[in-house]
Amino acid sequence: MKTTDIDTLTFDQLPAAISLLIREVNSLKIALQLAPPEQADQLLTVDQAAAFLSLAKPTIYAMLSRGELPNLKRGKRVYFQKSDLLRYLKEGKRG
């Protein structure tokens, strides 16, 4: 069945149109199942965390030194889990 405008669909074309819709919905379901989930737990660098929180890098470092932001340290590097920063924002923590 060709793609037609819904206004020009006749009663006789309904079974084919429904069949096409079912195939398209099933195709979308498969695509969604294969798509990678949103990475809420992805690790962010200081630059990325600053952009995510709409803060300047010095502000991020100041908050880190005061222990205000949840973070992970690996050697001299600092990382943030995006899910932790989201929770921090939702809880409205202020230090």
Residue 73: φ, ψ to 5°: -115, 135
Question: Of 41, 93, 95, 32, nearest to 72 (Cα)?
Answer: 41
Q: Note the pLDDT of residue 22.
A: 92
Q: Note the pLDDT of residue 44.
A: 95
- Contact criterion met (CB below 8 Å) for 33 and 65: no
Distance CA 85, CA 91 (A): 10
**CA dist 13 → 16, 22, 49 (Å):** 6, 14, 54
Whole-prediction pTM:
0.55
**pLDDT tens across the length of the chain (95 residues):** 555 566 788 999 999 999 999 999 888 888 777 766 665 578 999 999 999 999 999 999 999 999 999 999 999 999 999 989 988 888 875 54
Distance CA 62, CA 36 (A): 35
Distance CA 74, CA 54 (A): 24
Domain ranges (residues) in the chain: 43-91
